[in-house]
Amino acid sequence: MPINPDAVGATGGPVTRSWTSKDALLYAVGVGAGLDELQFTTENTKNTPQKVLPTMAVILGGGGAPMDKIGDFNRANMLHGEQGIELLDEIPAEGKIESTGKIAAIWDKGNAAVVETISESINVDTGKALLRTRSMLFLRGEGGWGGDRGPSEKIDFPETAPSHQITYRTRDDQALTYRLSGDRNPLHSDPAFAQLGGFQEPILHGLCTYGFTGRGLLHSLCNGDPSRFKSMNARFSKPVIPGDELTISMWVDGNEALFRTTNQNNEVVIDQGICSFS
């Protein structure tokens, strides 16, 4: 069955997800946090209560969207196109959420289909909304049915120097750590599967690059305080290879910042970024 544009508006859930302190620690290490971020990478450091990186929202949330309604497609040709998170409260070190989601849009890009999903998650312990997520999946080879191409708005970045800039280097085995947080897609670990998808070698999870970028935003804009991190949305523009260097550039205007992430060759790998903070 091909992509089904009539799936737009379909809802699903609630889906329950729980996590432990260990899950939060593993996620932090998976997106590069280390010895200088012990509030995220340890749970028993003196005078350092465990905190959770805001971008862990992409691991915990997103549930409920009825992906089975959109039809069949080759998962080797699926790429993460765009991701947004909105933090309505600080994520606790352990907890449980219930998520409901919907298929918000399906767009025809000619040589591909783009599926947008939106999900909201409630903290079961408090009964309050904890986070919202928005994802856009790029399905290569699934377009061409004559549907709407979707919006084409684009952020114009300032020509001035960034307000902040921070660089991290990913490890050669970064994807092997990150996949333990849940995404076992062999595109990121199996060389043969990656070649079937058109890549010479396994690529880093887009959401791992997103996590590295979120760490840079958190420390540069919020002084490392997750309670000040409110939202983040960005587009994935080029795959990252484990071992690549990532530089996050930020242009601040009040309580918002535009951002993008480049690799060691100055190629943009995350683009059209906007973050809000307090």
Task: List, by residue number, the catalytic residues.
Answer: 183, 188, 203, 206
Which residue, among 49, 55, 39, 41, has the nearest Cα to 215 in the 3D structure? 55
Q: Is the bond into 14 cis (omega within 30 degrees of 0)?
A: yes
Pair 84, 58: CB distance under 8 Å: no
Measured distance CA(244)–CA(94) in Å, rounded: 31
How many Cα atoms occupy the beta-carbon half-sphere of 36 within 13 Å? 5
Q: What is the DSSP string of 107-171?
A: EE-SSEEEEEEEEEEEETTT-SEEEEEEEEEEEET---SS------------SSPPSEEEEEE--
Beta strands 129-140; 112-123: pairing state: antiparallel
Measured distance CA(11)–CA(14) in Å, rounded: 10
* Torsion-angle region of 175 (φ positive above 0: left; ψ -120 to 50: alpha; else: beta): alpha
Which amino acid makes up residue 50?
Q
> What is residue 202's DSSP assignment?
-
